[in-house]
Structure 1
């Protein structure tokens, strides 16, 4: 065989092998994606719980940019040549897929056709249907620290353009809440040289304060007013709070803590903001109070006992005790894991469903290891019927039993402050797969 023939055969082989290898790998990935989707549907994980993408099959060109862009891992995949949500319940609304799509085939929506989500009516400027009253952050349905920071900053940029200074005794802006959205709004207000006041009913950090010690907080690179670019993707609770305090110290922004919002009225053209400590007049009000509101209760006998709590801050305090955690989301799983790390602590986790359907992949892996190691005993398809002084009455698959117990932690979500928002005149919309 001549060199020319060898070169010819080599060229043919390369021409065939490269596309064939790509096709085999493509088909393998598609099978994996289909298996992941089927697993999600069979285990009841087919419903998104937050803001999530809807892909237009007629626009999608299946290059996979959205799949690679998702920071949560294999949430999206390619099936039948089109991008598809494989693990809907684990999507937490990063929105990176939307940015990565070059053909605008992705829309971010709230709720689904079957499950509605209550969202306050908010314009693109973050102003509600009540003129001058704004909402930013998780309260508006947009989770994640980066999103909250961005919304807090952009809301104040819009507010600054609408302010007309007249009465020096009236604040340009009152910001309610000092979590990520409220802090970013405060920094932007100082940057805009507004006469502002920030109120927080607890302490700086908002809901972050209720996270367990050393909780790993997922975030994305973000632009913080008066600070600059924050580039990390993961940060511990304590590090995040330390960052906020450092920014506050360096910028000199003012925040009044331990002051709870009571009411907002508009008697004479200006907002009258009533708190637990006084009254303030303002041209604009920005609510950055989150969605958790009041912790949701089980509604069972004994729940008012001092042994029951709705947040876990220092798990080491419960070393050597028998503890029951109720819930099946990330907060419940992370609390159970934090308690299980304490020497001599016996941890039980009660969840009403038969599988964890809403937790992050990392938490799924961690809780699986803890279960296998005997560190956490999970009671699937169970309900707490009564909380007693030395034990808890549990019902599991129609069978009741008594579980010895010292402490109970309940993580079943929070009641959104819908009643309070409606009292302020804010319209609440129920979104069924809509923007």
Structure 2
């Protein structure tokens, strides 16, 4: 045999062997991550997520590499792709786009956990003419997707009969997160008469993101501003950019104003808030899935020491604080409080594991707990809130803790009753698109 072919054969054999070894190591790592997820009770995805058809998957690993959240959310197990760290999946959808076989489908909820999703048409109008839904409330909470939906909803609203006529607004936009903010810019760009109300501040849910990286899978066009070209940024920089865009466009957003009711008014609606009412041809709900803070419904919750959002950890310095919840906001609040000198922090969660929180937050809580900086009480529920203490039930055992403040981070109540009163169809998804 000639020397050159021998060298080529040897090189090819070595490369194939190296690939096979790396493939086996990757599979073992994926199996290990999946086993750890099951053992920790973190087997349920928290958002839109992929399901893989094993009959179509060829095990190429394109989806694994495409995930913006890292290399161990999806993995290859038994030669097929699998969601190995479900709690870390946030529904980017890049995996589906990367699959050459169309083996991945994005779904809401699981067989165990249903998710209420309002039914909308391709133009984001609900079954009730004139009521539109965009962004997280409709199930698509990623920044880029929400921005695109907000713009497309305004495109549809601009084509409605009655727009630009009479003494009413063309559209009332409820919420100023990614979808609502983009919709407001688009409404201004199109010359629509709009009113935008936001119960908190510009940014909506984004304003409550933890400090650090925000990932966008592709650039997106912001009306009256231009293309956002970054693939990653920080919450602080994104909000700064939005304030800059709002000022440049000259838009008005009525922050600190909460929507309370929507009623029919001829071919339009009346939107009532805690500060007034607005007649409008159309309504765009872009309020996110946080909704109104979920209350515990226990005696003593009306006390002034109970709040539903951590604003300034320093104000709790030296105090005894109970944080209630198991999501990212609860874990971040508990750790921020534990960083304050002299603060005693207890984190109460009704579940057996922090399945709804990001891994980095779970690791941080574990480190703080192991270091004695905070106490974690799983499978516990608040029973009563006293003036100087709180009573919890933990698997039938009553626990009384000295207490100066309670911070409830139990998520939000979706406006499902309001939607149903309006006649908007809402479907509970159990692992379906």
Query: TM-score scaled by structure 1?
Result: 0.91
Find the counterpart in structure 2 of residue 71 from structure 1. Answer: 68
Measure the CA separation in 2 of the matches of 1:327 and 1:18.
50
Find the counterpart in structure 2 of residue 60 from structure 1. Answer: 57
Q: 1:275 and 2:244 equivalent?
A: no
Match of 1:21 among 18, 33, 37: 18
Corresponding pairs, count: 430
Find the counterpart in structure 2 of residue 39 from structure 1. Answer: 36
Find the counterpart in structure 1 of residue 376 from structure 2. Answer: 378
Q: Which runs of 5+ in 2 are unaligned?
A: none
- Please say if residues 172 and 196 of structure 2, whose CA atoms lie closer than 8 Å, have aligned partners that are also in contact: yes
- Please say if residues 116 and 427 of structure 2, whose CA atoms lie closer than 8 Å, have aligned partners that are also in contact: yes
Match of 1:325 among 323, 328, 331: 323
Q: 1:412 and 2:407 equivalent?
A: no
Deviation at 1:7, TM superposition (A): 5.7
Deviations 1:47-69 (A, max 9, x none): 22211111122222322221122
Deviation at 1:183, TM superposition (A): 0.7
Measure the CA separation in 2 of the matches of 1:120 and 1:55.
25
Find the counterpart in structure 2 of residue 182 from structure 1. Answer: 180
Deviation at 1:404, TM superposition (A): 2.1
- Please say if residues 174 and 198 of structure 1, whose CA atoms lie closer than 8 Å, have aligned partners that are also in contact: yes
Match of 2:194 among 196, 211, 218: 196
Change (3 A) 1:98 1:113: same
Measure the CA separation in 2 of the matches of 1:155 and 1:56.
32
- Please say if residues 121 and 426 of structure 1, whose CA atoms lie closer than 8 Å, have aligned partners that are also in contact: yes
Q: Aligned Cα RMSD in Å?
A: 2.3
Q: 1:218 and 2:214 equivalent?
A: yes
Deviates more, 1:292-301 or 1:322-331: 292-301
Find the counterpart in structure 2 of residue 95 from structure 1. Answer: 93
Deviations 1:260-318 (A, max 9, x none): 33333333223333334444333222111122222222232222221111110111111
Deviates more, 1:127-136 or 1:223-232: 223-232
Match of 1:425 among 418, 423, 431: 423
Deviation at 1:171, TM superposition (A): 2.6
Q: Secondary structure at the match of 1:281?
A: strand
Deviates more, 1:68-77 or 1:11-20: 11-20
- Please say if residues 164 and 192 of structure 2, whose CA atoms lie closer than 8 Å, have aligned partners that are also in contact: no
Q: Secondary structure at the match of 1:403?
A: strand
Deviation at 1:335, TM superposition (A): 0.7
Measure the CA separation in 2 of the matches of 1:8 and 1:278.
83
- Please say if residues 59 and 76 of structure 2, whose CA atoms lie closer than 8 Å, have aligned partners that are also in contact: yes
Measure the CA separation in 2 of the matches of 1:342 and 1:235.
28
- Please say if residues 178 and 200 of structure 1, whose CA atoms lie closer than 8 Å, have aligned partners that are also in contact: yes
Deviation at 1:6, TM superposition (A): 6.5
Measure the CA separation in 2 of the matches of 1:165 and 1:297.
39
Deviations 1:90-117 (A, max 9, x none): 3221222122223322111111223221
Deviation at 1:380, TM superposition (A): 2.4
Q: Secondary structure at the match of 2:265?
A: coil
Change (3 A) 1:37 1:122: same
- Please say if residues 381 and 397 of structure 1, whose CA atoms lie closer than 8 Å, have aligned partners that are also in contact: yes
Deviations 1:134-190 (A, max 9, x none): 001111122233322222122112323445546242332221222221111001112
- Please say if residues 340 and 346 of structure 1, whose CA atoms lie closer than 8 Å, have aligned partners that are also in contact: yes
Aligned ranges 1:208-357 → 2 under 5 Å: 208-209=206-207, 211=208, 215-216=211-212, 218-220=214-216, 221-232=219-230, 235-357=233-355
Deviates more, 1:44-53 or 1:194-203: 194-203
Change (3 A) 1:265 1:392: closer
Deviation at 1:361, TM superposition (A): 2.2
Measure the CA separation in 2 of the matches of 1:191 and 1:418.
31
Which consecutive aligned stretches of 4+ in structure 1 deviate over 6 angstroms post-superposition? none
Measure the CA separation in 1 of the matches of 2:164 and 2:158.
14
